């Protein structure tokens, strides 16, 4: 899992500026979920829902809020079926209040073992925006690991830790199935990466999305940020290649399922805006790729794309489904593994419909809002005052025409509004909307 990577920031998503051959390989050999969304485009709420398969208002409702330690997690679900579970990297669900911290003390905050999701092995940090200054702690292979500094670039070092762990697993538990997650900060700002990864992406060479306003300062800032972010994604791609090669050399690749995704996107100047929080596609649209190497050869074939709008709560049950395991009744999400396991014969009705989107309390500059993303590519969002935002990505991929302001679209808006109200009630949310379309 990356942090703050929009769906369009991959070669396989049509980005002609960015080279991501190893991640593109996952998409060619597996399934790219083209409507994947971040149901709450902010680090902590997404991660709480990822780990627990519960919506943010029942897990982590906002920034720097704690995941209730008694909630079952993905580690519990896999451990129940004999898997050894491991987490490496950014956690960001312990509720640590960072405040105004020039020294980034959150990076050195030690999370008690009982709040590490019950992973068998856990080595990471709460939060840290300094990718060359990484502090880790946790427990691995039965030993507590004290807080210590790790030199090097974050993505490289966590890839090293993951590969070392898998080598240990091979030696000590060769017959035990395993589940391992790697969570890294890039391509979150500040946009720093190794020179070898950033070299091909000079700001002047970057193409901007058509919805970036043609204002010189916005264009300059957008190109500068994208240049660094592309280098960060390139470093991630390089390490994905390392991990795949290691699995292949160990004879394990054809027994492994690999998922690649991000927690939310980044606006990078689209609509003159930055970072996340808002329901524009650059913010809520995320990459999600699932590749089941048990079912495919290593060499490229035609890629498969699925339109199901997989959401944060769906990733846990989908992971279980990919492994052929039952989904516990405490999961609020759905198993979307069908398009990956059986691209030509899965039950489409089991994954049809929409995904529920939330911004609970007006996080940061955005107002509180609720919305839905449909498999047809429509995103409909309401503020407490009523319809606010509606775009049809099939016909308007850069969101230049807001259908919520188009009276000719009233029948569509009313249908979408009714579906949103059903989601609010079904999920146990308490959001109220004062005006219907």
Each residue's pLDDT tens digit, 118-146 = 999 999 999 999 999 999 999 999 999 99
| Amino acid 298: pLDDT | 44
Residue of 149, 138, 26, 49 whose CA lies nearest to 86: 138
- First-to-final CA distance of the chain: 37
* 126 alpha carbon, distance to own chain's centre: 17
Tens digits of pLDDT across the chain (437 residues): 999 999 999 999 999 999 999 999 999 999 999 999 999 999 999 999 999 999 999 999 999 999 999 999 999 999 999 999 999 999 999 999 887 665 568 899 999 999 999 999 999 999 999 999 999 999 999 999 999 999 999 999 999 999 999 999 999 999 999 999 999 999 999 999 999 999 999 999 999 999 999 999 999 999 999 999 999 999 999 999 999 999 999 999 999 999 999 999 999 999 999 999 999 999 999 999 999 999 865 444 556 899 999 999 999 999 999 999 999 999 999 999 999 988 877 777 777 789 999 999 755 666 899 999 999 999 999 999 999 999 999 999 999 999 999 999 999 999 999 999 999 999 999 999 999 99
Cα separation, 408 vs 122, in Å, equals 54
pLDDT of residue 100: 66
User: Largest Cα–Cα distance in the chain?
Assistant: 65
Residue at token pair 């395993």: 178
Q: How many Å is the Cα radius of gyration of the chain?
A: 21
Half-sphere exposure of 384 (CA within 13 A, CB side): 10
Contact 239, 21 (CB under 8 A): no
Sequential DSSP letters for 232-252: HHHHHHHHHHHHHHHHHHTT-
* H helix or E strand, kind and range, residue 288: strand 288-292
| Range list of H helices, 61-145 | 74-79
What is the pLDDT at residue 344? 77
> What integer pLDDT is reported at residue 292 of this predicted model?
94
Tokens of 319: 């992971």
- Cis status of the peptide bond prior to 187, with omega within 30 of 0: yes
**In 10 A of CB 376, how many CB atoms?**
12
- Torsions phi, psi of 126, nearest 5? -75, -60
Using a 10 angstrom Cβ sphere, with 0-12 exposed, 13-18 middle and 19 or more buried, the burial of residue 76 is: middle
Helix locations, 328-432, DSSP H: 338-341, 410-426
Two structure tokens written together for 405: 């302001």
pLDDT computed for residue 347 by the predictor = 79
DSSP H helical ranges for 180-328: 195-198, 216-249, 281-284, 315-322
Residue positions counted in the chain: 437
Give me the domains of the chain, ranges plus CATH numbers.
11-346 (3.40.720.10), 367-426 (no CATH)
């Amino acid at each position: 899992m990356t942090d703050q990577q929009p769906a369009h920031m991959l070669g396989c998503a049509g980005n002609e500026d960015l080279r991501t051959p190893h991640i593109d390989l996952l998409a060619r050999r597996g399934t790219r979920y083209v409507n994947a969304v971040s149901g709450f485009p902010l680090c902590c709420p997404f991660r709480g829902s990822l780990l627990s398969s519960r919506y943010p208002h029942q897990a982590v409702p906002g920034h720097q809020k704690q995941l209730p330690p008694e909630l079952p997690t993905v580690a519990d679900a896999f451990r129940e079926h004999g898997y050894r579970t491991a987490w490496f990297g950014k956690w960001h669900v312990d509720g640590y209040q960072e405040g105004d911290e020039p020294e980034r003390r959150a990076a050195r905050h030690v999370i008690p073992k009982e709040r590490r999701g019950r992973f068998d092995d856990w080595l990471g940090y709460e939060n840290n925006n300094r990718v060359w200054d990484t502090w880790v702690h946790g427990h691995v292979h039965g030993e507590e690991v004290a807080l210590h500094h790790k030199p090097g670039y974050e993505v490289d070092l966590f890839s090293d830790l993951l590969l070392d762990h898998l080598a240990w697993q091979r030696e000590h538990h060769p017959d035990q199935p395993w589940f391992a997650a790697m969570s890294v900060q890039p391509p979150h700002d500040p946009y720093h990466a190794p020179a070898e990864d950033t070299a091909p992406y000079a700001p002047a060479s970057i193409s901007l999305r058509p919805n970036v306003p043609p204002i010189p300062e916005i264009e300059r800032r957008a190109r500068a940020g994208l240049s660094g972010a592309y280098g960060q994604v390139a470093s991630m791609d390089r390490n994905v290649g390392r991990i795949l090669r290691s699995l292949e050399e160990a004879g394990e690749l054809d027994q492994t399922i690999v998922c690649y995704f991000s927690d939310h996107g980044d606006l990078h100047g689209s609509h003159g805006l930055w970072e996340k929080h808002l329901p524009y596609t650059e913010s809520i649209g995320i990459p999600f790729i699932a590749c089941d190497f048990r079912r495919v050869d290593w060499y490229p074939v035609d890629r498969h794309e699925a339109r199901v709008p997989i959401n944060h709560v769906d990733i846990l049950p989908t992971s279980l489904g990919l492994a052929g395991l039952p989904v516990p009744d405490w999961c609020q999400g759905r198993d979307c593994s069908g398009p990956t396991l059986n691209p030509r014969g899965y039950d489409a009705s089991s994954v049809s419909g929409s995904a529920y989107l939330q911004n609970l309390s007006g996080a940061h500059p955005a107002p509180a809002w609720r919305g839905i993303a449909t498999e047809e590519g429509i995103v409909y969002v309401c503020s407490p005052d009523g319809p606010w935002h509606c775009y049809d990505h099939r016909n308007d991929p850069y969101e230049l025409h807001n259908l919520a302001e188009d009276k000719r679209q009233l029948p569509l808006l009313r249908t979408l509004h009714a579906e949103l109200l059903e989601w609010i009630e079904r999920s146990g949310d308490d959001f109220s909307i004062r005006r219907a379309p």
